[in-house]
Amino acid sequence: MSAGYTFSTPAKEKKLVNQEQLQGTLVSMLGGYVAEKIKFGQVSTGASNDLQRATSLARKMVAEYGMSKLGPVSFQETNDLWPSSLAQKTFSETWATKIDQEVSRLINEAESQALKLLKKHQTTLNKIAKELIKKETLDREEFEKIVKADIKTSKA
């Protein structure tokens, strides 16, 4: 695989992002992790940055943006007037546990969605893996060529 590296290219710069778009981003971030599980039956350290970013995004969705089953509540721990090391938690341990559970739920749902998508496109995944074994890296054009060829094949 590509050491957990994923990329995305926005069509245009966006200032506002909705919940569905963020959930899609979580799925994308977990793609390398899930692909390793499918292809090799285990994961490597390659996806660690994607996992960190996905967890951070899921936490923001829950604790800052109100995009979870906890509802429209913000649980920010920092204060603009104080350095983060002096910031105090503004919520109870009970809420902290609920936040952690929601973050975990969002990550697990994204992993499940990534698994469904990658299994659906297993042929494409295998072709990409073969090319990565040959070359170790693929640039964007090479990657898109493989994906586009498989899309044409599957539609025919």
- pTM equals 0.76
Architecture of the domain made up of 19-119: Up-down Bundle (1.20)
Do residues 28 and 47 lie in contact, with contact meaning Cβ atoms separated by under 8 Å? no
Q: How far apart are CA 143 and CA 135, in angstroms?
A: 12
The single-letter code of the amino acid at 94 is T
Do residues 132 and 52 lie in contact, with contact meaning Cβ atoms separated by under 8 Å? no
pLDDT value at residue 73: 85
pLDDT value at residue 2: 45
**Splitting the chain (156 residues) into consecutive groups of 10 residues, what average pLDDT does each group show?**
50 80 96 89 90 96 93 74 58 90 97 94 87 88 88 68
pLDDT value at residue 12: 60
How far the first Cα of the chain sits from its last, in Å, is 28
Do residues 117 and 68 lie in contact, with contact meaning Cβ atoms separated by under 8 Å? no
pLDDT value at residue 22: 97
pLDDT value at residue 82: 52
Structural Rg of the chain based on CA atoms: 18
Neighbouring CB atoms inside 10 A of 5's CB total: 13
Q: How far apart are CA 106 and CA 59, in angstroms?
A: 9
Give the angle subtended at the CA of 17 by the CAs of 15 and 22, to the nearest 5°: 140
Do residues 32 and 48 lie in contact, with contact meaning Cβ atoms separated by under 8 Å? no
pLDDT value at residue 91: 80
Question: Which two tokens mark 92?
Answer: 């109870």
**Spans of all domains in the chain:** 19-119, 121-151
Which of 102-129 are b and which e, b meaning 16 or more Cβ less than 10 Å from the residue's Cβ? bbeebbeebbebbbeebeebeebbeebb
pLDDT value at residue 21: 96
